[in-house]
Amino acid sequence: MIAIGSDHNGFEMKEQLKKWFDANGIKWTDEGNTALDKDDDYPVYAKAVADAVSSGRADRGVLICGTGIGMMICANRTSGVRAVNSTDEFSVMRSRLHNDANVICLGASVVSLETAERLIDVFLNTKFEGGRHQRRLDMIDG
């Protein structure tokens, strides 16, 4: 299950990504914003997605705002969440292989829908390597 959320800047991309999830058989839950509201606050949606991932209600999360940066900062305040912001497939792949990232934060003003789909595909289909990387995650969490 993927928890997805956005503020007003990422709302249109989020709605398109939900269609892409459906077309690819990916189960999702929308943690908001559920209507375009330009007076919304991104931390509300970042926290909702981070809580879904942290609690185990969702396996991974996708957050979208203008740049992805605010969402990433907010999501990383939640225990057990390792959120990344990236615009390229290599960094997303490494974030999964080495850091076991469980939330990806995207900027609708920075990446196209097609790029977002490619990044999410890499994010969902790259497995964590474990080993020495797990030892390092344990150091972060310890």
pLDDT tens digit string along 132-141? 998 898 888 7
Tell me the C-alpha distance between 67 and 62, whole Å: 13
Is residue 37 classed as helix, strand or coil in its secondary structure?
coil
Q: What is the pTM of this model?
A: 0.95
Of the residues 8, 74, 98, 133, which is catalytic? 98
Q: Which residue has the tokens 């990446």?
A: 111
In tens, the pLDDT along 84-108 reads 999 999 999 999 999 999 999 999 9
Tell me the C-alpha distance between 33 and 39, whole Å: 11
Of the residues 65, 74, 105, 133, which is catalytic? 65
The verdict on whether 65 is a catalytic residue reads: yes
